[in-house]
């Protein structure tokens, strides 16, 4: 069920890693756990795109 994975953001981390490698070579790449922790913290601090 690839569509279910894409709705839940299952590919977001890999896209982020690909972006960093392409546009910021040599930049330290966070672990997947660090990526999600940062992403959720940003969403909590800036809830403009959420309905609740």
Residue 47 CB partners (closer than 8 Å, separation 6+): none
Residue 1 has pLDDT above 90, yes or no: no
- pTM equals 0.67
Predicted confidence (pLDDT) per residue in 7-40, tens digit: 556 789 999 999 999 999 999 999 999 999 999 8
- 52, containing H or E segment: none
């Amino acid at each position: 069920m690839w569509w279910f994975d894409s709705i839940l953001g299952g590919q977001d981390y890999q896209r982020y890693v690909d972006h960093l490698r392409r546009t910021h070579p040599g930049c330290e790449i966070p672990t997947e756990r660090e990526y999600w922790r940062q992403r959720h913290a940003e969403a909590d601090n800036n809830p403009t795109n959420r309905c609740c």
